[in-house]
A and B are shown apart, each in its own frame.
Chain A
Amino acid sequence: MKLKLHVWRQKDRQSTGRMVAYDAPNVNPEMSFLEMLDVVNEDLTGKGEDPIAFDHDCREGICGSCSMVINGVPHGPSKGTTVCQLHMRHFTDGQDVHIEPWRAKAFPVLQDLVVDRSAFDRIIQAGGFISVNSGSAQDANNLPVAKADADHSMDAAACIGCGACVAACKNSAAMLFAAAKISHLGLLPQGQPERRRRAINMVKQMDLEGFGNCSNQYECEAVCPKEISVGFIARMNRDYLSSSIFSKETGSTSKSED
Chain B
Amino acid sequence: MGWLRQTTDSSIGGKLIVAVTGLAMVGFVVAHLSGNLLVFGGPQAVNSYAEGLRKLGALLWVARIGLLVMATLHIVFAIKLNLANRAARPQAYAVKTYRRASFASRSMLLTGLALLGYILFHLAHFTFRATSPELAALGEYDVYQMIVLSFQQPLIAGLYIVSMFLLGLHLSHGVSSLFQTLGFNHPKYRNLVGSIGPFLGVLLALGFSSIPAAVLFGLLK
Contact = CB atoms under 8 A, between A and B. Distances in A.
A105 interface: yes
Contacts of A234: 179-180, 183-185
Nearest to B92: A103
A219 B98 CA distance: 7
24 contacts: A71-B97, A73-B97, A105-B88, A173-B11, A203-B10, A204-B6, A210-B88, A212-B85, A212-B87, A213-B14, A213-B81, A214-B181, A215-B108, A217-B102, A218-B100, A221-B100, A223-B99, A231-B186, A234-B179, A234-B185, A236-B12, A241-B13, A241-B183, A244-B7
Interface stretch (A34-42, A57-65, A164-172): A164-172
A56 interface: no
Nearest to B16: A241
B89 interface: yes
Contact of B11 (A6, A71, A170, A214): A214
Contacts of A250: 2-3, 6
Given A6-B94, A72-B93, A203 B181 contact: no
A216 B89 contact: no
A69 interface: yes
Interface string A180-205: 00000000000000000000100110
A40 B92 CA distance: 25
A216 B105 contact: yes
A90 B205 CA distance: 42
Nearest to B190: A231
Interface string B149-188: 0000000000000000000000001001101111111110
The 10 A-B residue pairs whose C-beta atoms are closest, nearest first, are A72-B97, A234-B185, A238-B183, A212-B88, A171-B85, A217-B101, A222-B99, A172-B88, A216-B177, A212-B85
B55 interface: no
Q: Chain A interface mostly helix, strand, loop or mixed?
A: mixed
B120 interface: no
A247 to B, nearest CB: 9
A1 interface: no
Given A172-B89, A215-B85, A245 B180 contact: no
Interface residues of B, number: 47
Given A72-B97, A217-B100, A237 B12 contact: yes
A245 B88 contact: no
Contacts of A104: 88-89
Interface string A219-255: 1011100000011011111101100110000110000
Interface in B85-124: 85, 87-102, 105-106, 108
Contact of B94 (A98, A200, A222, A233): A98
A173 B106 CA distance: 15
B74 interface: no
Given A231-B185, A244-B7, A214 B15 contact: yes
B24 interface: no
A203 B105 contact: no
A206 interface: yes
A163 B219 CA distance: 57
B6 A212 contact: no
A52 to B, nearest CB: 15
Given A71-B95, A104-B89, A218 B101 contact: yes
Contacts of A106: 88
Nearest to A166: B88
A177 interface: no
Contact of A213 (B11, B91, B108, B183): B11
Given A71-B95, A219-B99, A234-B184, A105 B108 contact: no
B65 interface: no
A103 B11 contact: no
Interface in B1-50: 2-3, 6-7, 9-16
Nearest to B177: A216
Contacts of B187: 231
B69 interface: no
Contacts of B108: 215
B84 interface: yes
A73 B180 contact: no
Nearest to B11: A213
A19 B190 CA distance: 41
Nearest to B182: A237
